[in-house]
Amino acid sequence: MQQDNRLKSLKKSLIQRLSGGRFVYRLPDRSSLYLTFDDGPHAEFTPALLDILHHHGIRATFFLVGKNAARHPELVRKLQEHGHTIGLHTHTHKTLDRLSRNEFDREIELNQNAIQEAIQSRPTLLRPPEGRLTLASLLWAAARGLKVIHYTVTSNDWKATSGEEITEQFAKTNIRGGDILSFHDNNPYTIEAIPSVIERYTKAGFHFLPIS
């Protein structure tokens, strides 16, 4: 398993170097970590998460599903007001590896439109749903002026059965500066775990930054 993870890390690092900055797997600031949240905004859990981040003085990056942004434009505006970066996560959470070029363009266009309706700005950062991506979809993203943001470490919060399970996973994970940490703001266990994650790495001397 560790060997497989190392190979995946090397592959993503190589793609990042070869992409000319259009694919990002790890960032260069070795004193910082990057919290990212997918699938929102969620009516209950996104506001709770915003309160936690505000309490700790942290700005993060939120990759929004277009249909959820259209359903909760007030939360999209609140994310912007709190200084968080807003990115794309397709309109209906379809994975990029299963889309034709026309389907890809439609998912991105609708995703951008939904967010623009709320904040008068069109995001250009894209997180692939489930982290799934093909060379073709990377090229299509680049053609639209998008930067694809992957992640270095996943919390696996989507399949966790408790907040403690998430925090225990991070206790066993080797975190390095520049790592992009993947969470979801649509489940209660993330809300339970995120204060401990923040406190753990703040005590270790890391800063938390949004992706720009």
User: Are the C-beta atoms of residues 117 and 66 closer than 8 Å to each other?
Assistant: no
For residue 3, what are its two tokens? Answer: 């060997």
* Opening angle at CA 11, ends 138 and 129, nearest 5: 45
CA dist 103 and 84 (Å) reads: 28
Query: Residue 182 is inside which H or E element, if any?
Result: strand 180-184
Active site residue 38: yes
Q: Residues 84, 89, 91, 184: which is the catalytic one?
A: 184
Q: Which member of 38, 39, 179, 185 is catalytic?
A: 38
184 is catalytic: yes
Task: Give start and end residues of each alpha helix (H) in 57-100.
Answer: 66-71, 73-81
What residues are annotated to the active site? Answer: 38, 184
